[in-house]
């Protein structure tokens, strides 16, 4: 039985990787890499974002859903995950996930506040972004970061994993210097940036 499970898992991974690669070929400006994130990068993201303590997580640019599943695996049973994806092919694939905690919204990352309102959700504890800031115009990158920051609950975290440092420079200009870690066990190696929104002392 273990051999059968291993074969099925291998087929699923190959299908996942092929779908991701096809998405990259169709829309290279919207997909940050040719292949999906490694399990090491997924583990790093989960740790940096403190998913185990989150009530509501928003994922921007989930792609074929590898990182989405890693988030769900670490997310508390009574928490929720809103995945915002612009590609219709990826949206269809994400909606096949049967986990009731997952909500999939087709739209742009810059409209995160509208997506939250449509689904009747409050400010998230965490926003995780894999969208490639390096391939989008600077003004759009700033709009996305500003929208994310204004949507976050007090004490919330914005976590972005990127190959290039564009999000760090844009984020530092708007939000201050991020905490940065490097995950070498990924192709390509990825930097994981985190900004934390200060809690309002009056609340």
Predicted confidence (pLDDT) per residue in 41-77, tens digit: 999 999 999 999 999 999 999 999 999 999 999 999 9
> How is domain 2-196 classified at the architecture level of CATH?
3-Layer(aba) Sandwich (3.40)
Alpha carbon of 21 to those of 15, 18, 47, 69, 94: distances in Å? 10, 5, 26, 18, 16
Indicate the domain borders of the chain.
Answer: 2-196
**What pLDDT band is residue 11 in, cutting at 50, 70 and 90?**
very low
pTM: 0.82
Check residue 54 and report its DSSP letter: -
């Amino acid at each position: 039985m273990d051999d059968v499970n291993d074969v099925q898992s291998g087929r699923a991974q190959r299908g996942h990787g092929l779908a991701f690669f096809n998405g990259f070929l169709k829309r290279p400006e919207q997909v940050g890499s040719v292949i999906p994130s490694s399990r090491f990068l997924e583990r790093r993201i989960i740790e940096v974002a403190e998913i185990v303590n989150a009530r509501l997580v928003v994922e921007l640019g989930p792609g074929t859903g590898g990182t989405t599943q890693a988030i769900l695996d670490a997310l508390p049973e009574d928490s929720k995950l809103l995945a915002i994806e612009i590609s219709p092919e990826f949206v269809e694939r994400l909606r096949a996930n049967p986990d009731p905690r997952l909500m999939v919204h087709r739209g742009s990352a810059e409209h995160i506040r509208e997506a939250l309102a449509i689904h009747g959700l409050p400010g998230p504890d965490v926003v995780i972004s894999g969208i490639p800031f390096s391939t989008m115009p600077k003004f759009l990158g700033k709009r996305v970061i500003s929208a994310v920051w204004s949507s976050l609950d007090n004490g919330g975290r914005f976590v972005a994993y990127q190959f290039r440092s564009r999000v760090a420079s844009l984020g530092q200009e708007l939000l201050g210097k991020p905490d940065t870690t490097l995950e070498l066990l990924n192709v390509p190696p990825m930097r994981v940036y985190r900004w934390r929104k200060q809690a309002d002392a009056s609340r």
